[in-house]
Amino acid sequence: MKTMFSRRNFLRASTLSGAAFLLLPRARLAFAYEANGKLNVAGIGIGGQGRGDLDNIAGCGANLVGLCDVDQKRVGDIFQKHPQAKPFTDFRRMLDEMEKQIDGVMIATPDHTHAVAAVAAMQRGKHVYCEKPLTHTVHEARVMRLTARKHRVVTQMGNQGSAENGLRRAVELVGNGTIGEVREAHIWFAGGNAPMKRPTDCPPVPESLSWDLWLGPAAERPYNPCYLPASWRAWRAFGSGTLGDMGCHTSNIMFRALQLEQLWNPPAGVKAKRNIIRVEAKPSDVDLEGYPTSMTAVVDLPARGELPPVKLTFSTKERPSEDLLLGHPRGDWGDLLVGSKGSIYSDCPWNTRFVLLPKSQYQSIKAGPPQILPVSIGHHREWVEACKGNGKTYSSFEIGGPLTELLQLVNLATLVEGPVEYDALSGNILNSKPASALLHTKYRKGWVL
């Protein structure tokens, strides 16, 4: 049996999928780095996860020149911590006023604002680090990837496990045929969500919060503390549920190892009129406001060149059969690839570790074959250095976009009956008008993609 691809092809595919369309040192914006030796970064959404991202980026030697957040209480002392950075509450104003002073932008807002902020930055030629999931809708993910490509900016999605050597080693072991041909994979998550009901009370908006800016492109609704600061993830209007929240982490090995990004970007010489992804979801409940309590979705993926078709199963709060683990304990989380020779399994939500199954068959595998993918210098440092023309990012929007697109397609499928057939090349659903209407949401006036 042939391995999935040769060492040379694997290295090429890994490079292209994780780090395509980088800005070169002499390209646009490079003069700023050469003049002061540092990257000038602005932050959008700087409380919570954004605070950690900014600390890491600043720790890599970047200058923080602008900080934007709509909730002054949530950000705490971060403005005082970085007094040299100009404060804002509206990122649109920040980008307009500081366009010539900004080289890159970090985005860690709620999901529903990721795309409008990132696209606005990239259209101005700014590099972007954006938290996962990359976007809130299927269509937004597509626009993000194509905008990054058009403007040749450096990008990185915030699935930080991508920088861990455990993940990279797992990806290349699958790639060199260690577990054989993979036609089946399972991704599962410890918990689900629940139907949501809009509150009827209308408490006053806190003085520290700009509610209108927090809503951003989302449809108007009264303020209520049930939406924020962190509970927005469970609401379809703002977040992406368990699948969207953790999917870019927990399915990272699977997506990369099976080279699924080729469904969106076929390699040179491969001609395809359509690449049809078929998704059929079986949610425990259907709710326009929230996400299912539990869910199983079967995704049929076509061949990618010499790589065979794959049947992928996503489950929230459900588990695959213990038999698939070949005697190994089945964890609450899972990324499992079932091959013709064996399996590879990560029980870590962030895919930072893995085990080859059955263990008795692979006791000496860590000693070889030799590692191909380089050891990361750090997820945030990769982005900072790549923006300056040094090295590459491993989780660029060329892979983060399609991964998010797939996850949001599964979320979409929980709202419609029967299978959904989606063409990854055109971005169209071919068999369902109700599903097609859910590819994107209508933005409020003043907000554009």
**Bridge pairing between strands 182-189 and 63-68:** unpaired
Co-location of 243 and 153 in the same domain: no
The confidence band for 254, taking pLDDT boundaries of 50, 70 and 90, is: very high
Whether 223 maps to a domain, the answer reads: no
Regarding whether 307 and 179 lie in a shared domain, the answer is yes
Do 260 and 18 contact (CB within 8 A), yes or no? Answer: no
> Do 59 and 182 reside in the same domain of the chain?
no
The answer to whether the beta carbons of residues 187 and 314 sit under 8 Å apart is yes
Token pair, residue 187, equals: 């991704």
pLDDT band (50, 70, 90) for residue 35: very low
How far apart are alpha carbons 202 and 52 in whole angstroms?
A: 32
- Is 111 domain-assigned? yes
Asked whether residue 154 falls in the same domain as residue 274, the answer is: no
Q: Which domain range does residue 154 map to?
A: 7-161
Residue 7 scores a pLDDT above 90:
no
- Asked if the model's pLDDT at residue 20 lies above 50, the reply is no
Residue type, 281: A
Question: What is the reported pLDDT for 23?
Answer: 37
Same domain, 152 and 272: no
CB 309 within 8 A of CB 301: yes
Question: Residue 175 contacts by C-beta under 8 Å, 6 or more apart in sequence?
Answer: 3, 4, 5, 10, 13, 14, 257, 259
Q: Are 417 and 409 in contact (CB under 8 A)?
A: no
Residue 443, pLDDT score: 98
- Please indicate, yes or no, whether residues 171 and 77 belong to a single structural domain of this protein: no
Q: Is the pTM of this model over 0.85?
A: yes
Which amino acid is residue 317, in one-letter code? K
Mean pLDDT of 67-87: 95
Residue 378 domain flag: no
Q: Is residue 441 part of a domain?
A: no
Average pLDDT of every residue of the chain = 92
The pLDDT value recorded for residue 9 is: 54
Q: CATH number, domain at 342?
A: 3.30.360.10
Number of domain units in the chain: 2
| One domain for residues 177 and 129 | no
CATH assignment of the domain containing 44: 3.40.50.720
Both 144 and 283 in one domain: the answer is no
Which residue among 161, 181, 206 closes a domain? 161
What pLDDT is recorded for position 274? Answer: 95
Q: What are phi and psi of 167, to 5 degrees?
A: -65, -45
Q: Are 125 and 185 in a shared domain?
A: no
Residue 55 has pLDDT above 60, yes or no: yes
Helix axes 111-123, 138-151, angle to 10 degrees: 20
Co-location of 184 and 322 in the same domain: yes
Question: Would 297 be classed as within a structural domain?
Answer: yes
What is the rounded distance in angstroms from the CA atom of residue 273 to the CA atom of residue 258?
21
Among residues 138, 161, 184, the one where a domain terminates is 161
Cis before 358 (ω within 30): yes
Q: What is the mean pLDDT of residues 259-275?
A: 90
pLDDT, mean of residues 104-124: 98
The conformation of residue 21, written as its DSSP 8-state character, comes to: S
Residues 34, 151 within the same domain? yes
Position 323 scores a pLDDT of 98
- Is residue 215 in a domain? no
What percentage of the chain reaches a pLDDT higher than 90?
87
| Least confidently predicted of 28-42, 146-160, 395-409 | 28-42
pLDDT of residue 370: 81
Examine the pLDDT at 372 and tell me if it is beyond 60: yes
Work out the pLDDT band at 13, boundaries 50, 70, 90. Answer: low
Residues 107 and 172 in one domain: no
Domain end marker among 113, 140, 161: 161
Which of the two residues, 31 and 441, has the higher pLDDT score? Answer: 441
- Report yes or no: 10 and 172 within 8 Å, Cβ to Cβ: yes
Residue 74: predicted pLDDT: 92
Q: What digits encode the pLDDT tens for the residues 169-228?
A: 999 999 999 999 999 999 999 999 999 999 999 999 999 999 999 999 999 999 999 999
Percentage with pLDDT > 70 across the chain: 91
